Structure 1
Amino acid sequence: MARVFQLPVTTGRTAIAAPAVVGSTDRPRPGIAAGYLAPHPPHLIYAENPPQNEPRSTGGWEVLRWAYAELRRRLTRLRPDVLVVHAPHWITMVGHHVNCVPNPRGVSVEPIFPHLFRYHYNMTTDVELAETIADCAAEAGLVTSKLREPGVRVDYATIGALHLANPSWDIPVVSLSANNNPYFYAEAALDEMEVLGAATRRAIETTGRRAVLLASNSLSHLHWDVEADLPEDMSREHPFSHHQYQWDIRLLDLVRTGPTRAVADFVPQHIAQTASETKAGSLTWLLAALDWPAIPGDVLGYGTIIGTGNAVVEWVPEEFSDV
């Protein structure tokens, strides 16, 4: 976010009283149990043919869909209280917004691919955690807003990541906006997303939640401007260019070897070379919320969609690795 919209970032904060933990003694340990790079192209939901989505398909993009199937299997084992997602298509020009509406529901239509994505959504927000994230971010010096408009229309990137991770929608969610001033102000950087990630972690700890985080970013993001007659025709699917593919693999090689700080340091180069969607900050937010663990990520799958690079990746902090 441009510095003109940023308050001075502070390191301290006013303590927020944590609620008493109620439940059995075998309640799963609170904290961030895992983080996932969880790309959102509408083609993946289209190919799955869920009942919530009106268009019907004959399949396609199986490698990425199988990667999400493995993510879902692991998510079941993690038993989170809440899924927290940061997505690049809820664009807010001033500040970071947090959806605090208890039950957003409606129809979301992808504006470029309305023939692929007309999705009927009905989600439950963890309002206490949402408000606490906003409070912690504001205390850290970020311009923030608590969205309370009941008729809010949820963007397809938020829905895409949440559906592909948990199509039963039986886990409460919190969704965060992308302050996309980096697309308009060249001097802006990703450091603000680090502050938001740390604030997200503090809020999760304060409320005693067990959370899984979803960063809804694609990687390389140059793509075709003409679609095949049959969108799921996989004979037409390949990287936009060898250059983009090479840079995606360089990033994923760093992911697979760790530590996460090395990944974050490489992200600006990757953005410059590939117009990467990580410019919206979701991946940086995720790694900062995980507190930069010195661990490799587990790449569950990589594939292209209309030429863009997409990877499903898992990071599990060491204290949760025995789950």
Structure 2
Amino acid sequence: MGTLALAAKITHVPSMYLSELPGPRHGTRQDAIDGHAEIARRCKALGVDTLVVFDTHWLVNASYHVNCAPHFKGSYTSNELPHFISNLAYESPGNPVLGRLLARVASDHGVETLAHDATTLAPEYGTLVPLRYMNADQHFKAVSVSALCMAHYLNDSARLGWAFRQAVEQHYDGTVAFLASGSLSHRFAQNGLAPGYAFKLWSPLLERLDRDVVRLWQSGRQQDWADFCAMLPEYAAKGHGEGFMHDTAMLLGALGWSAYDAPVEVLTPYFGASGTGQINALFPVTPQDGRAIPAAQASAADGFSRVATRL
């Protein structure tokens, strides 16, 4: 019935907001902002009605959660980086119908997920920053999904993404984009050293690791995707992946997991920000078997080890 039209791994660095403001950081993240604008342009061209954001700033300790309030509006200051994001005004329509559907289908497939439509819960900035640049005209509805998962298996996040795609394609009357909002390596610069790392990575090791991963994504070979899925738990742990990369597991679960075989398109080339590794990249949506998780995919997903989230 419905369509997953676009999938992407996106940055939400708060320095994008600083880039708008007068001062020494003005204009310095225009490439990342332009990447978001291009994603919005393509979503409009594809007829997308709702942006579903896998938000690595929404911390949860039990179950998966979907914020699908009818409308979002407010003023946001980051408790993590209040000197970067302060009094950011936001407004966007929500999509309770889709949010409830995503939660129901995921739960039906054994991944406990709760939808919150009658709520005062505000989105975190992993959702709000992308919406600022992709949805300033409120053209799209928005749904936010918890992806800073403190006591969760990565394989469940992959299955969540797979179930979300089934929900869209089998039950939803509309067109959707899935956005994995989080960095690659996420090792912030040590306190007191942050200004010197505003535009670079914390270590050469992490930068090399991230760049090798991006090249692997760009190859598009199915074996490379299978290798990446197998290495994801260790990469998330040793590479300091943001939210232990549950957003990435969700995205790849929706795309077919280890059976995926398409090359990513980089819109904003890999860059450093406060020690972390960032990118805007499109993951082409390819046909997948909607009846059940393919055997190879299930095997690879079951091979995930449990990784305890450490911040």
TM-score (ref. length: structure 2):
0.81
Q: Which moved more, 1:218-227 or 1:65-74?
A: 65-74
Whole-angstrom distance in 2 between the partners of 1:56 and 1:103: 35
Whole-angstrom distance in 2 between the partners of 1:55 and 1:153: 29
Matched with 1:312 is 280
Cα RMSD after superposing both structures: 2.5
The partner residue of 2:172 within 202, 207, 213 is 207
Matched with 2:266 is 299
Instruction: State whether structure 2 residue 62 is matched by structure 1 residue 94.
Output: yes
Shift of 1:62: 3.6
Instruction: State whether structure 2 residue 119 is matched by structure 1 residue 147.
Output: no
Whole-angstrom distance in 2 between the partners of 1:305 and 1:262: 27
User: Tell me, what secondary structure is at the counterpart of 2:71?
Assistant: coil
Larger Rg, first or second structure (1 or 2) = 1
Shift of 1:296: 0.9
Q: Summarize the Cα distance change of 1:228–1:192 in structure 2 as closer, same or farther, 3 Å threshold.
A: same
Whole-angstrom distance in 2 between the partners of 1:119 and 1:56: 19
CA contact (8 A) 2:68 2:142 kept: no
Whole-angstrom distance in 2 between the partners of 1:126 and 1:84: 10
Shift of 1:305: 0.8
Whole-angstrom distance in 1 between the partners of 2:82 and 2:51: 26
Instruction: State whether structure 2 residue 161 is matched by structure 1 residue 197.
Output: yes
CA contact (8 A) 2:61 2:149 kept: yes
Matched with 1:45 is 17
Q: Summarize the Cα distance change of 1:280–1:253 in structure 2 as closer, same or farther, 3 Å threshold.
A: closer
Matched with 1:21 is none
* Identity, % of aligned positions: 26
Whole-angstrom distance in 1 between the partners of 2:25 and 2:172: 41
Structure 2: state its 5+ residue gaps. Answer: 288-311
Q: Deviations over 1:283-322 (max 9, x none)?
A: 1101111224311111222111101000111012246xxx
Matched with 1:276 is 241
CA contact (8 A) 1:220 1:248 kept: yes
Shift of 1:38: 1.0
Matched with 2:303 is none
What one-letter code is carried by the residue in structure 2 that aligns with 1:298?
A: E
The partner residue of 2:41 within 52, 68, 73 is 73
User: Tell me, what secondary structure is at the counterpart of 1:104?
Assistant: strand
Matched with 1:266 is 231
User: Tell me, what secondary structure is at the counterpart of 1:281?
Assistant: helix
CA contact (8 A) 2:59 2:150 kept: no
Instruction: State whether structure 2 residue 82 is matched by structure 1 residue 123.
Output: no
Structure 1: state its 5+ residue gaps. Answer: 1-17, 19-29, 183-187
User: Tell me, what secondary structure is at the counterpart of 1:294?
Assistant: coil
